[in-house]
Structures are given as C-alpha cells and as structure tokens.
Amino acid sequence: MAKNKGVEVPETYQIRLSMSVSPHIKSRDDVPRIMRDVVIALVPAALGAIFYFRAGAALVMAVCIMSCLVTEYLCSKFLFGQRVVIDDWSAVICGLLLAFTLPPGLPLWIAAIGGACAIFFGKAVFGGLGQNIFNPALVGRAILLASWPVAMTTWKAPASAVDAVTSATPLGLVKESAAHAAATLPRYTDLLLGNVSGSLGETSALLLLLGAGYLFYRKIITWHIPVPFIATVFILSIFTRNPLYEILSGGLMLGAFFMATDMVTSPVTPRGRIIFGAMCGGLTWLIRNYGGYPEGVCYAILIMNSVAPLIDRYTIPREFGAKKEAAA
C-alpha cells in the first residue's frame, strides 16, 4: 500500500513509469536472425534443385555463395572502409537467390562473376546493407544476362528426363508458338514438383510455397506484396494465356515471395506494398507477352525497386493533426 495525500492506494492502481531512451518497443528479431530464417525457407527449393539437376545445381549455388562472401569481405575491408559483416548472412542470401535465377549448366566462372557483380554493383557501391536501391541478386542476374545471353538461356533438362540433354523452359515453349506448345507443355504436376527445365529456383512451385509458408509463420513477410503480384499476373493472363500455367511456371513464385518482399528495396507502408506488388505483376505480364524474353520477373522487380521511394512518399499516412502542404 502507498499513501497519496494521506489516502492509502493499493499497489494495483499505482502507476510505474520507467525513464529510458528510444526505441521503447523492442524486438528479438535482428538482421542475422531474419536472414537465417530466409535461408531456412529456401532450403526445400535448394534440395529440390539438387535432386533434379544433381551436382551441377550444388556447384552453382556453392560458387555463387562463396563469390558473394569473398566480394563482401574485400569491398568492406579494402575498398569502401565499411564494417565487415559477412556473418549477418546477407551475402549468403544474395548468393543463394542469385543461384536460383541461373541455369544449372552455367559455367562456374560466370556464376562467380555474377556473385561479385551482385555484391559490388547491387550493394557495396550504395553503402552496404540497408542502403541499396535494387535487389542485389537480381542486379547480378541482369548483368549476366546482358553479358552472356546464350549461356544464360541454355537450359538443362532434369535428371529424370533421360531422353534430352537440353530443353526449353515452359515459358519458352509458350513464347515460341501456342500450337507447338500445346503438345509439349509439361503437366501441372511437373510444374508443382519441379520436373521441368529452367533456372534452379524454378524447380518446384510447391517447395517454394512451403518456404513461403515458413516466412509467413515467422512473420518475416506479409501478404501485401506477393498476393497482389501473383493475382495481377493471374487476372491479366486470363485474356492472353493459361493463367494457372503462368503463375506455376517461371520465376514468379520465387520473385513474389523471396525477391519482391526484400525489406530494403520495397515500400514500407501496407498500401504502398499492395501497389508495388500489383505493378510488379503488371510489368511481368507485359514483358512475358510483349517483350523479347519469355520471363519478366527480374526486370519487373528491378524497375519497381527504382520507384519504391516514390510510392512511399505518396502512401505514408499524414501525421495526426498535421495540415497538407500548400500547393506551390
């Protein structure tokens, strides 16, 4: 019991104030913990890639990760004078995501160059983690595709397809001609399980969804970007192609759940994220249907990364009681 002006006040009704500096709301989550969760979420798809493409997939992933780690260390230590933080798992994530966008038969020296470019041009030159404008893994893929287009579009058939050494991707078949594709397109079960040609991250829509479910469970990502992304592609594809085939094939699942949701390069407001995801989906559909490449996820996300700050500017809620700025 405490006394207030001679009146005893039960402890239940006493107010206890604790003086401290901000932030006043703390979380156990930090960068290494979040990055490790993303790595865990990508493990099923990585194992699926190794199952279908054998040692080639494992080597591409290992080379990309090592290249990113070495480049991160060298840039931080000797070029930009930044704090060396290769133990925060961000370089591992960059290398693994880059590998997921590459064909399994890609020469390893090209994969190594891709990892170095992803870290240097996509991250280090902007000041390091948290300051980059574009998704580093997609920057690396875009550079490789522009530099070695033949190697980047030479696909290896899964190990189960013993009758072929190389094979076009499902989206490539659709792009070539609808008449030809109708007889050769893989079954939906193959798209779900991953028994198709393509980049390592296209191995299995089901395994990617399993990893995405883990990220939702851990509250690393929300629905605001991936759902509008996938829904927009599905709705627009109703007027041009098979919408279900469009969302199950290619890099859409990988891009929607693991690339576009990058905390650094996407908007911070819920409304802004919905706009961001929907526009990523619209650009993906445009590039797939009217562009020179059968896949458009990479360039769609990179383009939207550049306008994410603008989306934030117009979707951040106005402070309570604040007045709108007067028109100039």
What is the domain extent for residue 297? 31-165+172-311
Taking only the tens of pLDDT, the chain with its 328 residues reads 555 555 565 555 555 556 665 555 555 667 788 999 999 999 999 999 999 998 999 999 999 999 999 999 998 888 877 777 778 889 999 999 999 999 998 999 999 999 999 999 999 999 888 889 999 999 999 999 999 999 998 888 787 654 444 566 777 766 665 544 455 677 888 888 888 888 898 878 999 999 999 999 999 999 999 999 999 999 999 988 788 888 988 889 999 999 999 999 999 999 999 999 999 999 999 998 888 777 889 999 999 999 999 999 999 887 665 565 544 4
Q: pTM of the full predicted structure? A: 0.85
Give the C-alpha separation, 328 to 326, whole Å. 6
Question: Does a structural domain hold residue 248?
Answer: yes
- Other CB atoms within a 10 A radius of the CB of residue 182 amount to 11
Question: Does a structural domain hold residue 19?
Answer: no
Residue 245 tokens, joined:
């085939």
The burial class, CB within 10 Å (0-12 / 13-18 / 19+), for 136 is: buried
pLDDT given at position 23: 57
Question: Does a structural domain hold residue 11?
Answer: no
Q: Locate all alpha helices (DSSP H) within 148-257, ordered by sequence.
A: 149-152, 170-176, 178-184, 188-193, 205-217, 226-237, 243-248, 252-254
pLDDT given at position 179: 45
- Other CB atoms within a 10 A radius of the CB of residue 123 amount to 29
Q: How many helices and strands, by DSSP H and E, does the chain display?
A: 14, 2
Question: Does a structural domain hold residue 146?
Answer: yes
Question: Does a structural domain hold residue 58?
Answer: yes
Contacts of 327 (CB under 8 A, 6+ apart): none
Specify the CATH number for the domain of residue 257.
1.10.3430
Question: Does a structural domain hold residue 143?
Answer: yes
Question: What is each CA distance from 62 to 102, 201, 255, in whole angstroms?
Answer: 13, 14, 21
Give the C-alpha separation, 215 to 128, whole Å. 24
Question: Does a structural domain hold residue 4?
Answer: no
- Contact present, 215 and 38 (Cβ < 8 Å): yes
Question: What is each CA distance from 73 to 76, 84, 93, 130, in whole angstroms?
Answer: 5, 6, 15, 16
Contacts of 68 (CB under 8 A, 6+ apart): 91, 92, 94, 95, 98, 115, 116, 118, 119
How would you classify residue 250: left for phi > 0, otherwise alpha for psi between -120 and 50, otherwise beta? left
| Helices 90-100 & 108-122 angle (0-180, nearest 10) | 130
Adjacent-strand bridge partners of 8: 3
Question: Does a structural domain hold residue 182?
Answer: yes
pLDDT given at position 13: 53
- Contact present, 123 and 132 (Cβ < 8 Å): yes
Contacts of 7 (CB under 8 A, 6+ apart): none
Q: How many domains does the chain have?
A: 1
- Other CB atoms within a 10 A radius of the CB of residue 184 amount to 11
